[in-house]
Structure 1
Amino acid sequence: MTRSTRIPLSTGITLNVATAGPEDGPAIVLLHGFPESHRTWRGLVPLLEDKYRLIMPDQRGFAGSDAPQDPKDYATDRIVADLFALVDALGLDDFTLVGHDWGGAVSWAAALRNDPRLKRLIIVNAPHPLIFQKSLIEDPEQRAASQYITAFRAPGFEKAVEAMGWDTFFTKSFTGHVDLAAIPAEEKAEYIAEWSQPGVFTAMLNWYRGAGVMVPPPGVDVPLPDFLVRAFPAVKVPTLVVWGMRDKALLPLQLDGLDGLIDDLTVERVPDAGHFLPWEKPKAVAEPLRTFLASRLGA
């Protein structure tokens, strides 16, 4: 059974946090991406709540959490600070971090902080920052697939969405990724209710506007940023990457080269699923997650 509470953080942000599972179970913090909320994990909860303490915040700008309107409030370091402030507030000294989409981007960044409380990392369809930026410059297919980021950054994009209507935006968001018929009407209503709250959709878009990732237009040659040609720190914690191979936004080439950036890496490819893997095929995430944690937790 999922419970929900709002937790004020030392960062000045209050997050709506859903929880499930035993309070004394191994703690797992799960971070969702765009355009979702803690409900990203709705299919995983019944598969994991028997054993694990599941902590599922709505990240800043989404659903039931605070939604500051300045894009600068969505720089990656501020969002990572929210994560560790939540860990502080809950008194966690040993946790597993799971991230999907933008939640995965935060999770990669958090793992690179080498905080001793973060013991294990699980990534679901979220590219490593080095590989993603490199692919946006060097791979024309990934660059083309990512042009939506430029659209989301455009001033007034939220007005265009309001003009087209939330139903149309819902269809555009998920068509091509999942079978729309597989999303129940009540879930669609939840998405639209979250997006249409005052200020929330602008805050959601600010994740793209506040991010440092560079998305060149098609056909333009650009030099590699300095951080791509310097030595990049390795992820030290044991890491499981689960990837829906039909992802049309984040292409499977994002897996290439991961083994050189992570000291202890396990990759699980899911051939018959796409970007929204956590709720499209939750068992395909839960099963390797349980196996991975059993080997790392000794239980």
Structure 2
Amino acid sequence: MTLPALRRIALSTGVELDVAIAGDPTQPPVILLHGFPESHRTWRGILPDLARDHYVVAPDQRGFARSSKPDGVEAYAADAILADLIALADRLAIDRFTLVGHDWGGAIAWMAALARPDRVARLVIVNAPHPFLFQRALFDDPAQRAASQYIRRFRDTTIDQGLTGAGLERFFGSTFAQHVTQAIAGPDKAAYLDEWAQPGAMTAMLNWYRASGVIVPAPDEAPPRPAFLDRPFPPVTQDTLVIWGIRDRALLPALVDDLGPYVPRLTVARIDAGHFVPWEAPEAVVAAMRDWRI
């Protein structure tokens, strides 16, 4: 599907983001946050439908595609990325908005809903685990711990030097395309390879993992258990829709099972797809959003 032309927007956080914007600014605003290793293209099958009756904003987040790529791992800490989100909304004169996030975009969306309920009016999460339940699963669920070992690999900075040229082709096939049941080829593949080939892009994208405070023990490791896992955790107060591709091999469906106490105003839509459900089943994602009355 056709996406709108990107606009370059300078933010008060010191970065510039490329942003796809569609729809009437007088309509209810929706901000779409992509995850790894993607860009605004995550939403190619979803943004046009939402733009019929919403003002839709889909940035290439910091580190991705041609958006700014600050030096240093610390520049990709979640609080810096959350600050970009709020600065982008401010720059576009958006007060309260529905926030939609997939993968890492969903991680930021959970954080934004908890930290900025004054700005996030409603929340849609697509295959992104609740931060408390994810960390708990990494200690208590051997299957999820095993499925998350890729995070440890991505935190190894020695892999960056191989992610050029033919290395990007291998990365595309092993980390992205093999997890999507419909083929990604032709212009779509070329667009992603072009985005990843931008100077510093692969390191910047992987720095999201390196800056994260999530503890991922090795399968046979018994590290000290974080004290917060045995304490109360604040609830998400917004109406929340969680859309989950149930064939996700990295973030297992069990991560949705215990959301109720932490998300009291919860709706769950399970879709027969994998982790990249916006690619695999965009019509089903749109239908879930519309049924929820986005």
TMscore range, shorter length: over 0.9
Query: How far 1:3 sits from its partner (Å)?
Result: 3.1
When normalised by structure 1's length, the TM-score is: 0.94
User: Which one-letter code corresponds to 1:150 in the other structure?
Assistant: R
The answer for unaligned runs of 5 or more in structure 1 is: 295-299
Instruction: Provide the C-alpha distance between the structure 2 equivalents of 1:117 and 1:235, rounded to a whole number of angstroms.
Output: 13
Q: Which residue of 2 aligns with 1:54?
A: 56
Matches within 5 A, 1:31-50: 31-50=33-52
**SS of residue in 2 equivalent to 1:112:** helix
> Structure 1 vs Structure 2: percent identity of aligned residues?
53
**SS of residue in 1 equivalent to 2:121:** strand
Q: Which residue of 2 aligns with 1:246?
A: 247
Number of aligned residue pairs: 292
**SS of residue in 1 equivalent to 2:179:** coil
**The 10-residue stretch of structure 1 (272-281 or 218-227) with the greater mean CA deviation from structure 2:** 218-227
1:291 and 2:282 are equivalent in the alignment: no
CA contact (8 A) 2:106 2:125 kept: yes
Q: 1:268 to 1:87 in 2, by over 3 A?
A: same
Q: Which residue of 1 aligns with 2:281?
A: 281
Matches within 5 A, 1:15-34: 15-34=17-36
Q: Which residue of 2 aligns with 1:77?
A: 79
CA RMSD of aligned residues (A): 1.4
Task: Write the deviation string for residues 136-158 of structure 1: whole angstroms up to 9, x where unpaired.
Answer: 11111111111111111112211
CA contact (8 A) 2:129 2:251 kept: yes
Q: 1:163 to 1:220 in 2, by over 3 A?
A: farther
**SS of residue in 1 equivalent to 2:115:** coil
Q: Which residue of 2 aligns with 1:173?
A: 175
Moved over 6 A (4+): none
User: Which one-letter code corresponds to 1:165 in the other structure?
Assistant: G
Instruction: Provide the C-alpha distance between the structure 2 equivalents of 1:260 and 1:115, rounded to a whole number of angstroms.
Output: 18
Matches within 5 A, 1:109-124: 109-124=111-126
CA contact (8 A) 2:181 2:280 kept: no
**SS of residue in 2 equivalent to 1:191:** helix
Q: Which residue of 2 aligns with 1:148?
A: 150
Instruction: Provide the C-alpha distance between the structure 2 equivalents of 1:31 and 1:117, rounded to a whole number of angstroms.
Output: 15
Instruction: Provide the C-alpha distance between the structure 2 equivalents of 1:102 and 1:264, rounded to a whole number of angstroms.
Output: 22
Query: How far 1:163 sits from its partner (Å)?
Result: 7.2
User: Which one-letter code corresponds to 1:217 in the other structure?
Assistant: A
Matches within 5 A, 1:59-138: 59-138=61-140
Query: How far 1:175 sits from its partner (Å)?
Result: 4.5
Instruction: Provide the C-alpha distance between the structure 2 equivalents of 1:179 and 1:278, rounded to a whole number of angstroms.
Output: 12
Task: Write the deviation string for residues 195-252 of structure 1: whole angstroms up to 9, x where unpaired.
Answer: 0111111100100000000110111122321221221111001100000000001000
Instruction: Provide the C-alpha distance between the structure 2 equivalents of 1:177 and 1:43, rounded to a whole number of angstroms.
Output: 18
When normalised by structure 2's length, the TM-score is: 0.96
Q: Which residue of 2 aligns with 1:297?
A: none
Query: How far 1:263 sits from its partner (Å)?
Result: 2.2
CA contact (8 A) 2:66 2:198 kept: no
Instruction: Provide the C-alpha distance between the structure 2 equivalents of 1:95 and 1:293, rounded to a whole number of angstroms.
Output: 14
The answer for unaligned runs of 5 or more in structure 2 is: none
User: Which one-letter code corresponds to 2:292 in the other structure?
Assistant: F
Query: How far 1:120 sits from its partner (Å)?
Result: 0.2
